[in-house]
Amino acid sequence: MIPFETPAPPASASPDAAPVLTVPADAPFFIVMNAGSGRMQTDETRAILDRELGGNGRRYELRLVENPALLGDVAREAVEDAIAQGGVVVGAGGDGTLCAVAQATLGSGCPFAVLPRGTFNYFSRDHGIPSGLEASTRLLLTARAFPVQVGVVNGRMFLVNASLGLYPKLLEDREAYKRQFGRSRVIALWSAAVTLLRPHRHLRLHIEHEGSTREIRTSTLFVGNNRLQLEQIGMKEAPLLEQGLLVAIAPRAIGRLAQILLSLRGAAGRMSDAGNVMSFAFRSITVTRPGRRRRPVKIATDGEVTRLDMPLEFHVAPEPLFLLKPEPEVALANRS
């Protein structure tokens, strides 16, 4: 097979080519929040919104979603109302909730903002948005909407990452542990360790990229769209995200002990040093499973697991998401 090379990004690929939008001082906010976060978090959110937005004369509507299956419908309604009233759609929650709300705004021209309420909050942290609810709410009053890149797999958007294989299993097990023991980073890391110790299958995949095809055997194919996350595990391709590209990572078929050692290497920020990891940047790839071309496969996008039909088409969305965030120099200083 021909080894993949990183393509030269076209000048039009970067979101920086799109204009920065200034939000009117009287624009209303339509805030979509997953009520599954809990009553205490909902009450806290209401109190801060009343104080920081209402107290400054800004109109807002908080739309709580009791059933996660309706999140997309509520988000689309919020986008329609925001467009009609010259407003901003805001997602409140973790990366999965933010992605569902952002999907409704993509391509609409409607500005999007976030109130991070999740465990890791990779999307908001990467863009320098404060993790504290008060600070992120105050930011809504002054921030401009900057174009940011998003990824797509078979029409399903992702802000942070998309994956198949072992990684979706890790996420499913993590949610089960969280329901039993509570939401925290310690629980998330513990559940990952337990999952890695169990037997897991390897996938045989064909990856088509710019006219060449490579066959690989791997436990998981991970596609990243978050510079902070890729930097944390030590991927040298992380800066290429800002050039209109995504990054694919696939460990070669290895045993359980080697998989754990690889995970520890990633936690130490040294994933690129591993000799059994394939990685490359791309604008678009097509992934198939020999002999199982049409069978659905389990996919995780920003922590939410679903099934999609093969083949899988990963690519950068042709239009950016317009995100309310700090000015570039402030955003860079806030990244953590």
Both structure tokens of 198: 């169990």
Cα 297–Cα 299–Cα 301 angle in degrees, nearest 5: 165
Q: How many CB atoms lie within 10 A of CB 160?
A: 23
pLDDT band for position 31 (cuts 50, 70, 90): very high
Task: Give the chain's mean pLDDT.
Answer: 85
Model pLDDT for residues 82-98, shown as the tens digit of each residue: 999 999 999 999 999 99
pLDDT at 318: 95
Give the CA distances from residue 307 to residues 132, 151, 286, 296, in Å, rounded to whole numbers and listed in that order: 34, 17, 16, 6
Instruction: Tell which CATH architecture fits domain 156-165+198-316.
Output: Sandwich (2.60)
Pick the more confident residue, 310 or 7: 310
pLDDT at 202: 79
pLDDT band for position 133 (cuts 50, 70, 90): very high
pLDDT at 35: 84
pLDDT at 3: 44
Model pLDDT for residues 264-320, shown as the tens digit of each residue: 445 555 566 556 788 999 999 999 998 755 678 999 999 898 999 999 999 999 999
The percent of residues above 70 in pLDDT, for the chain, comes to 77
Q: Are the C-beta atoms of 250 and 222 separated by less than 8 Å?
A: yes
Tell me the backbone φ, ψ of residue 215, rounded to 5 degrees. -100, 130
pLDDT band for position 6 (cuts 50, 70, 90): low
pLDDT at 134 over 70: yes
pLDDT at 192 over 80: no
pTM of the model: 0.84
pLDDT at 197: 56
pLDDT at 151 over 80: yes
Full DSSP string of 303-326: TEEEEEPSSEEEEE-SS-EEEEE-
Model pLDDT for residues 114-126, shown as the tens digit of each residue: 999 887 899 999 9
- Looking at the chain, which residues constitute the CATH 3.40.50.10330 domain(s)? 13-150+320-334
Pick the more confident residue, 258 or 61: 61
Q: Are the C-beta atoms of 133 and 48 separated by less than 8 Å?
A: yes
What mean pLDDT do residues 156-184 have?
Answer: 76
pLDDT at 103: 96
- Looking at the chain, which residues constitute the CATH 2.60.200.40 domain(s)? 156-165+198-316
Q: Which residues, at least 6 apart from 286, have a Cβ–Cβ distance to it below 8 Å?
A: 207, 208, 209, 311, 312, 313, 314
Q: Minimum mean pLDDT among 6-20, 22-36, 53-67, 76-90: which range?
A: 6-20
Instruction: Tell which CATH architecture fits domain 13-150+320-334.
Output: 3-Layer(aba) Sandwich (3.40)
- Measured over the CA atoms of residue 241, residue 234, residue 190 and residue 136, the dihedral's sign is negative
CA distance 231 to 229: 5
